[in-house]
Amino acid sequence: MTDEAMQGFREWYGRQPTGVWSAPGRVNLIGEHTDYNDGYVFPFAIEQRTAVALGDRDDRVIRVSSSFAADPVQIHLDELAPDAVEGWSAYPLGVAWALGEFGADLEHVRGVDLHVTSTVPIGAGLSSSAAIESAVALALDEHWGLGFDRPTLAKVGRLAENRVVGAPTGIMDQSASLLSEADAGVFLDCRSLDAEVIPLGFTADGLSLLVIDTRVEHAHATGGYAARRASCEAGAHALGVESLRELGSHDLERAAEVLDDETFRRVRHVVTENQRVLDTVRTLREQGPGAIGPLLDASHVSMRDDFEISVPELDLAVATAQAHGAIGARMTGGGFGGSAIALMVDALVPVVTREVLAAFAERGFREPIVFPVRPSQGARRDA
Ligand code: GLA
Length of the chain, in residues: 383
- 130 and 168 co-located in one domain: yes
Residue 17 CB burial class (10 angstroms; 0-12, 13-18, ≥19):
buried
Same-domain pairing of 148 and 210: no
Helix (H) / strand (E) containing 312:
helix 312-323
d(CA 268, CA 300): 13
On whether both 320 and 206 belong to a single domain, the answer is: yes
CB of 172 closer than 6 A to ligand 1?
yes
Q: Is the pTM of this model over 0.95?
A: yes
Angstrom distance (rounded) from CA 213 to CA 369: 5
Residue 144 and residue 275 in one domain: no
CA dist., res. 185 & res. 180, Å (int): 6
Q: What is the whole-number distance in angstroms between the Cα of residue 47 and the centre of ligand 1? A: 19
Same domain? 106 vs 208? no
173 in active site = yes
Identify whether the C-beta of residue 160 lies closer than 8 Å to the C-beta of residue 94: yes
Q: What is the CATH number of the domain that holds 250?
A: 3.30.70.890
58 DSSP 8-state letter: S
Residues 165 and 304 in one domain: no
Tell me the sheet residues that pair with 118. 50
**Ligand 1 centroid from CA 238, angstroms:** 23
Going residue by residue through the chain, which has 383 residues, state the pLDDT in tens, using 9 for 90 and above. Answer: 899 999 999 999 999 999 999 999 999 999 999 999 999 999 999 999 999 999 999 999 999 999 988 788 999 999 999 999 989 999 999 999 999 999 999 999 999 999 999 999 988 999 999 999 999 999 999 999 999 999 999 999 999 999 999 999 999 999 999 999 999 999 999 999 999 999 999 999 999 999 999 999 876 656 899 999 999 999 999 999 999 999 999 999 999 999 999 999 999 999 999 999 999 999 999 999 999 999 999 999 999 999 999 999 999 999 999 999 999 999 999 999 999 999 999 999 999 999 999 999 999 999 999 999 999 999 999 99
- CA of 167, closest atom in ligand 1: 8
173 and 202 Cβ atoms separated by less than 8 Å: no
CA distance 204 to 215: 31
Same domain, 182 and 238: no
**CB 12 near ligand 1, within 6 Å:** no
Residue 43 to residue 222: CA distance in whole angstroms = 24
- Please check whether residues 120 and 209 belong to one and the same domain: no
**Which amino acid appears at position 200 of this protein?**
L
Say which CATH number the domain at 161 has.
3.30.230.10
Same domain, 235 and 120: no
The answer to whether 39 touches 190, Cβ cutoff 8 Å, is yes
- 228 and 299 assigned to the same domain: yes
Kindly report the CA angle at 137 between 136 and 139, in degrees rounded to 5?
60
Q: Which domain holds residue 243?
A: 201-373
35, 38, 113, 173: which one is catalytic? 173
Quick check: CB of 336 below 6 Å from ligand 1? no
Are residues 311 and 273 part of one domain? yes
Query: Domain check: are 178 and 240 in the same one?
Result: no
Q: How many folded domains does the chain comprise? A: 2
- The residues that bridge with 184 in the sheet, in sequence order, are 199
Ligand 1 pocket check for 334: Cβ under 6 Å = yes
